[in-house]
A and B are shown apart, each in its own frame.
Chain A
Amino acid sequence: GENVEQHPSTLSVQEGDSAVIKCTYSDSASNYFPWYKQELGKRPQLIIDIRSNVGEKKDQRIAVTLNKTAKHFSLHITETQPEDSAVYFCAAPPYNTDKLIFGTGTRLQVFP
């Protein structure tokens, strides 16, 4: 089955710096790669996703890159702000299933 690994587990950056979180997956047939942001005690919120037919997608300060050959994808946050502080999860679906397998999460802290 699908296995999703996520690094780093914690990340501290200064406001204005960039943050990068990386995930690797095991199922080469996976074709959808979302990123979720979860604030303490709240629900996970879908912030960006990418499908296997593209290599990069951007939405303002957030971008996701995908390398299908190496089976990894990354979340890039530029010009970080204190409100970006949260736990970020990547996920991937095992082939031909509806479900998502989540990575272990990255706690991002942005210091003013």
Chain B
Amino acid sequence: GAVVSQHPSWVICKSGTSVKIECRSLDFQATTMFWYRQFPKQSLMLMATSNEGSKATYEQGVEKDKFLINHASLTLSTLTVTSAHPEDSSFYICSVGGREWSYEQYFGPGTRLTVT
């Protein structure tokens, strides 16, 4: 499977500030990456599908102006949480895959965001 990294692994920020999370595909070029959010003891909720060179596709209910996604290269996608609030505190995980990988998805290690 694909090797995926995320940075940072954890971050604490103050309410009202912005945080950027990076997702890198280390061993193959990923046209498509996915961003998930996972609250404690809950499932993975897809936030958006990130497409290299084009705009991300957001799931219903996810604010695109709050969660900015940039997929500028085939190995890097970034998620920026703007004007973060305590309710944005969560585990954010990216993955690579989709139809170019016969639907298989491989996940990064996740980023734990705490907003104080």
Are A32 and B103 in contact, with the CB atoms below 8 A?
A: yes
Are B102 and A32 in contact, with the CB atoms below 8 A?
A: yes
Given contacts A34-B104, A46-B104, A49-B104, contact A105 B110 (CB under 8 A): no
Q: Is B67 an interface residue (CB 8 A)?
A: no
Chain B neighbourhood of A49, CB < 8 A: 104
Are B103 and A98 in contact, with the CB atoms below 8 A?
A: yes
- Range of interface residues on chain A? 20 to 34
A31 to B49, CA, bound (A): 19
Chain A neighbourhood of B112, CB < 8 A: 41
Contact with A along B25-50 (1 / 0, CB 8 A): 00000001010000000111110010
Given contacts A100-B46, A102-B43, A103-B43, contact A43 B110 (CB under 8 A): yes
Q: Is A99 an interface residue (CB 8 A)?
A: yes
**In-complex Cβ contact of A105 among B43, B104, B107 (8 A):** B43
Shortest distance between the CB of B87 and any CB in chain A (Å): 21
The DSSP consensus for interface residues of chain A is loop
A55 to B51, CA, bound (A): 33
**In-complex Cβ contact of A100 among B42, B102, B105, B108 (8 A):** B105
CB closest chain-A residue, reference B101: A98
Given contacts A98-B98, A99-B98, contact A46 B44 (CB under 8 A): no
Given contacts A43-B109, A46-B1, A46-B105, contact A102 B49 (CB under 8 A): no
Shortest distance between the CB of A47 and any CB in chain B (Å): 11
Are A43 and B107 in contact, with the CB atoms below 8 A?
A: yes
Contact with A along B88-103 (1 / 0, CB 8 A): 0000010001110011
Q: Closest 10 interchain pairs by CB?
A: A98-B98, A32-B103, A43-B107, A102-B44, A102-B43, A104-B43, A43-B109, A44-B107, A105-B43, A98-B99
Apart from A41-B110, A44-B44, A99-B34: 9 A-B pairs, beta carbons within 8 A = A32-B103, A34-B104, A43-B108, A46-B104, A98-B98, A100-B46, A100-B103, A101-B46, A104-B42
